[in-house]
Structure 1
Amino acid sequence: MSHASALLVIDMQNALAAISYRATETVAVIAGLRERAEAAGVPVVTIQHRGGGLEADTEGWRIVPELAPSADETVVHKTSADSFLHTDLDKTLKALGVTEVVVTGFATEICVDTTARQALSHQYDVVLVADGHTTSERPDTGDFASPERSIAHHNAIFRHIDFPGRRIRVVPAAEVDFAAA
């Protein structure tokens, strides 16, 4: 079956949610998107990081219960910030007829950013869900921006990226329209 859109849920794993800024709110936003995607027949692809302390089959590695993939859902395992690198994500999306990815998850400035940019390079339109991605809870220091600033910064940057032949949108979850897919 062909789908224009797919919802990507990146690295919403127990250990990462435990250190996330506004984890409860972000999980709720993504869970709502997931319900709407499933109701519209839009595929949901869960992306799960392996390595760097996230060892397979450990509690921290598992996806948070509210977003646990169904038995027939695609789960992509990755070992880098790029969900496309050395995975079957591109092949899976192409087989589903996907032309647009709706991007959510953890961490804003690492895996979410890298995956969204790589989606553009793989010729997908990108919808970055403005309230559907998060990063680690941390103070605003000289080394790192606060989570609020990092999320706002990435939302602003993606509103201004120009990528020939691709459409990029940054919208709140309430404005994601899976029925239009």
Structure 2
Amino acid sequence: MTTLAARPRTALLVIDVQKGVVAEAHQRDAVVANIAALVDRAREEGVPVVWVQHSDDDLVKGSEAWEYAPELIRRDTEALIHKNFGDSFEETELEDVLAAAEAGHLVVTGASTDACIRSTIHGAFVRGYDVTLVGDAHTTDDNSKWGAPPPDQVIAHTNLYWQYHSAPGRTAAVADTKDVTFE
């Protein structure tokens, strides 16, 4: 029920699952495995998979840390969005890629929950997309030394508030990997 006209399709977003981003992430292996399962399922069902890759002064483009986790292999036919801001839409071609795919519903996975994931799900929602956050396919580092809650609480809180997020003509949802549908 997206507010975007003529956008009946769903796309899977894989955000920043890069070596340097997820090296110390909470339940890294389980989250990456869930994302890999979703990528496989999306491909089988003909759903566009859109890869997002962050770079900045601490995550230098072309460095080993900038590369995607080795368990996740992007196909040449799948879109790759390079970004420099938390919100995957800011100063990128993501909107154009999604428009060309006729995608009005986004299934969101990746890292980091309390930064790029939150920024992107909110950015998508205010732009008119329906957004499903995959509750067991996003992760973050332990930032508690800077006053943040432990990562399991950050993830749980994000899942909690996103399932109750609402706005006219759009839906927000949280689903576990096994329950995701790409309809």
TM range (shorter): over 0.9
Q: TM-score when scaled to structure 1?
A: 0.94
Counterpart of 1:147 in structure 2 is 151
- Runs of 5+ consecutive residues of structure 1 not aligned to the other structure: none
The correspondence for 1:68, drawn from 70, 73, 83, is: 73
Residue-by-residue CA offset, 1:46-96 (whole Å, 9 max, x unaligned):
100011311111110001111121111100000010100000001110111
Identity across matched positions, percent: 37
Q: 2:178 aligns with which of 169, 174, 179?
A: 174
Structure 2 alignment gaps of length 5 or more = 1-6
Instruction: Tell me what 2:13 maps to.
Output: 8
TM-superposed CA distance for 1:170, in Å, is 0.5
2:54–2:83 contact (8 Å) kept in structure 1:
yes
Q: Which amino acid aligns with 1:143?
A: G
Runs of 4+ in 1 over 3 A off after TM superposition: none
Correspondence 1:116 to 2:90: no
What TM-score comes out, normalization by structure 2 length?
0.93
How much has 1:3 moved relative to structure 2?
Answer: 6.2
Q: Residues 3 and 42 of structure 1 are in contact (CA less than 8 Å); yes or no, is this contact kept in structure 2?
A: no
1:46 aligns with 2:18: no
Contact 1:90 1:122 in 2 (8 A): no
Task: Specify whether residues 138 and 70 from structure 1 end up closer, same or farther in structure 2 by C-alpha distance, changes over 3 A only.
Answer: same
Root mean square deviation, CA, Å: 1.3
